[in-house]
Every structure is written in C-alpha cells, then in structure tokens.
Amino acid sequence: MIWKKTIYDSLISCSTLCNQFATECSNAEDIENWYRSIFLNLDCADMCRNLATLYVRGSENARLLAKACIEVCEKCAQEVSQYNFERANQVYAICQQTICCCVNIIDMGYQTDLEAKNPVTTPASLFYGIDLRQTLYN
C-alpha cells in the first residue's frame, strides 16, 4: 500500500480535534449532559490515531480498522451535529473528511489486490536505445 500524507494528516487532525472537543466538554458545569459526546469523541480520537499508525506502517490490518473507523466517525459526527457552536462544527467537518479518507484506505487495498492479480509489465520498447556498454564515469 502506497500511503498518502493527506490521508495521514486528516486522521491525525481528527484525532487531535476530537480529543480537544472531549476535553472542552469535560470542563462543562453540566458534565452529565456531555458524557455521550465525551466518550464518542475519545473513541473517535483513539480510532483515528490507531488507524494512522497502521496506515503509515503499511499494515494489512489498516483496511479492517478503516471500516470500524468509519462507523465511529459517523457516530461522532452525528452526535456533534446537534450542537451549534464553532468547535462542534469543526469536529463534524473533520469527521466527514476522515470518513472519506477511510474509504480511500479501503479502496487502496482493493487496488493492491487487483495489481497483484494483474501485474503491470513494462514494455520492452522503453529500453530501446539504452546501451549498457556506455557507462558514464565521473
């Protein structure tokens, strides 16, 4: 799997933003009303951080975690969508972006499987004109 920095950055951004939101919610005076948001945001942060690690490592299990991450991000986005303030809107947006990244991770795995079954060969015509006898020395 060839990884893309934008996917990694989105996963880490989601993790960071969800952690910040959970921390802000835990400082609220009526914390009892925020438990679900806190726990969902912490779950989302952990999933995204773990997926980012597996993704960069090139783990074959990244696709499995990406599927679970989609579900957790959807729950987190749905939960914060009921609030009407800037940080909640930011969390909603980054969760939606992360869902798209997870779909890309899943699709990358399928592309890799297809490439393994149908390898791309380099045509010999590309090598015409290359003469190994002419070696450049510095």
pLDDT at 117 over 60: yes
Q: How confident is the model over 90-116, as pLDDT tens digits?
A: 999 999 999 999 999 999 866 555 555
**In the structure encoding, which two tokens stand for residue 24, read together?**
């802000």
pLDDT band at 4 (very low <50, low <70, confident <90, very high): confident
Average pLDDT over residues 65-85: 96
* Residue 49 contacts residue 11 (beta carbons within 8 Å): yes
Predicted confidence (pLDDT) per residue in 13-50, tens digit: 999 999 999 999 999 999 999 999 999 999 999 999 99
pLDDT in the model for residue 77: 97
Q: What is the pTM of this model?
A: 0.77
Residue whose structure tokens are 């690690």: 53
Contact assessment for residue 99 and residue 74, using Cβ atoms and an 8 Å cutoff: yes
13-16 own/partner pairs: CB under 8 Å, 24+ apart: 13/94, 14/44, 14/45, 14/48, 14/73, 14/94, 14/95, 14/97, 14/98, 15/44, 15/45, 15/46, 15/48, 15/49, 15/52, 16/45
Q: Above 60 in pLDDT, residue 136?
A: no
In terms of DSSP H, where are the helices of the chain?
5-26, 35-57, 62-80, 86-117
What pLDDT shows up at residue 133?
Answer: 47
